Amino acid sequence: MTFVLSKMSGFSIEEKVHEFESKGFLEISNDIFLQEEENHSLLTQAQLDYYNLENDAYGECRARSYSRYIKYADSPDYILDNSNDYFQSKEYNYDDGGKVRQFNSINDSFLYNPLIQDILRFDTEFAFKTNIIDTSKDLIIGLHQVRYKATKERPS
């Protein structure tokens, strides 16, 4: 799947970058993405997708899906990667770090959700405009859906 993220309505990313640079932090209310009535139903659709997650083979009391996009430096497109291999070093994950893990892919209904694409676009453009990410390099963007099913007998 390839998509080019459309311009978001309702606010300017440049204004948010300026706010971040002047304050040193940025508070982002969910209202920023819910200014259009249609986005409320898109949010509900995205939330309901979490009930369809399958159990995570790498952790008890948890269901998970994972997919990733590649945004090549010379392209405005976000390309859905065919692989959903996930790696963390032992430094960041003492239990499962140091090995490649594979999770079920995120459902297309979630990946194609225009609200999710708007959030993805905001996050990446914000990171580019604040120089958090080098725009001259390809970018891999991992999306995780995780739902914990903790009980008092099995805390997360």
Give residue-wise pLDDT tens across range 21-62. 999 999 888 888 998 899 999 999 999 999 999 988 887 788
> How far is the C-alpha of 120 from the C-alpha of 59, rounded, in Å?
26
Is the pLDDT at 112 greater than 80, yes or no?
A: yes
Its sign, for the CA torsion 88, 53, 80, 116, is negative
Q: Does 116 score more than 90 pLDDT?
A: yes
Stated as kind and residue range, the H or E segment containing 68 is strand 62-71
Percent of the chain beyond pLDDT 90? Answer: 56
Going by pLDDT thresholds of 50, 70 and 90, the confidence category of residue 9 is low
Cα–Cα nearest to 120, from 78, 85, 90: 78
Whole-prediction pTM value?
Answer: 0.82
CA atoms of 89 and 69, how far apart (whole Å): 20
